[in-house]
Structure 1
Amino acid sequence: MKKVNLYTDGACSGNPGPGGWGAILECEGRRRELCGGEADTTNNRMELTAVIEGLKALKYPCEVTLISDSKYIIDAITQKWVYKWKANGWMRNKKDKALNPDLWEQLLQELQKHEMCYTWVKGHAGHPENERCDEMAVAESQKFKG
């Protein structure tokens, strides 16, 4: 299996509002940048979309290290919250619905294809790839401003 680093970030102006996402795939000395956006979204939806799109870009199973500044994503997966939400019909508890179940479903499908490791990095702290992903995400979100 090839080893891949997947760096991701999402951005949103207004939350909800115009948003964007950025992802960088690094494998065997090669680098690929991906980005996109939506006119009306949230920051968490863009964070999730960045990971989904990065994983979807892989053509075959890989050993993937996801590097993200999103505690929402990293903690939901590593603490196994997302699996509990799904098992409970996308409820976080007896009263509160889990947010973004459509994207979590897509992400869980993509995660099954790969051997995954997770690394959280502090956002806006000078990590070069995280900064580049943020730059792409913000630029994409700007495309939707009036």
Structure 2
Amino acid sequence: MSKDKQKTVIVFTDGACSGNPGPGGWGVLLQWNGVEKELTGGASHTTNNRMEMRAVIEALNAITQPCHVKIHSDSALIVNAFKQNWIKSWKKRGWKTANKKPVKNKDLWEEMLEAMKPHKVEWIKVKGHSDNVRNNRVDRLAVEASKKYQ
């Protein structure tokens, strides 16, 4: 199937952490063709950013064929890393930030890039903790998942 004829999957992701670091969880909502699927998970000692990133990775890995994936996230870090090409700059500098410090969570950035490969990914920034019903839903999933790791 050519890239312009791909199925479109709508994805909402969120991460939560009680303490930073602390027990954390992530939540995903996948929507395609009127079908919804929720995914959750977490870790006992993690950070909010790691949970935000894990949610995106798990969402992408759950999609079994190349698709146009519209990822909705309230993580400015993740959305800006791709929309403002930060990730390309980090890689070019050997995974260093503009101030020459190591990029945090390099392992997850690399895992995310690998998970993105089969897909055409579109990044959509949503405002967290507002009136977006689907974002609030994945926030609740992430918070509930984090409680299992306390």
Query: TM-score range with shorter-chain normalisation?
Result: over 0.9
What SS does structure 2 have at the residue aligned with 1:126? Answer: coil
Instruction: Quote the residue 1:37 is aligned against.
Output: 42
Gaps of 5+ in 1: none
TM-superposition CA deviations, 1:26-75 (whole Å, max 9, x none): 00000000000000000000000000000000001001101010001000
Matched, 1:21 2:34: no
Instruction: Quote the residue 2:71 is aligned against.
Output: 66
Would you identify which runs of 4 or more consecutive aligned residues in structure 1 move more than 4 Å?
A: none
Instruction: Quote the residue 1:108 is aligned against.
Output: 113
Instruction: Quote the residue 1:6 is aligned against.
Output: 11
Normalization by structure 1: what TM-score? 0.96
Query: Aligned partners of 2:118 and 2:93: how far apart in 1?
Result: 23
What SS does structure 1 have at the residue aligned with 2:44? Answer: strand
Q: 1:138 aligns with which of 130, 137, 143?
A: 143
Query: Aligned partners of 1:55 and 1:20: how far apart in 2?
Result: 17
Q: Give 1:94 shift.
A: 4.8
Query: Aligned partners of 1:16 and 1:89: how far apart in 2?
Result: 26
What SS does structure 1 have at the residue aligned with 2:90? Answer: helix
Range moving further from structure 2, 57-66 or 110-119: 110-119
Instruction: Quote the residue 1:51 is aligned against.
Output: 56
CA RMSD for the aligned pairs? Answer: 0.9
Normalization by structure 2: what TM-score? 0.94
What SS does structure 1 have at the residue aligned with 2:97? Answer: coil
Range moving further from structure 2, 81-90 or 40-49: 81-90
Query: Aligned partners of 2:15 and 2:39: how far apart in 1?
Result: 12
CA 1:125–1:94 in 2, change beyond 3 Å: closer, same or farther?
Answer: closer
What SS does structure 1 have at the residue aligned with 2:8? Answer: strand
Query: Aligned partners of 2:79 and 2:99: how far apart in 1?
Result: 23
TM-superposition CA deviations, 1:60-108 (whole Å, max 9, x none): 1001101010001000111110121122111103531110000000111
Instruction: Quote the residue 2:95 is aligned against.
Output: 90
Gaps of 5+ in 2: 1-5
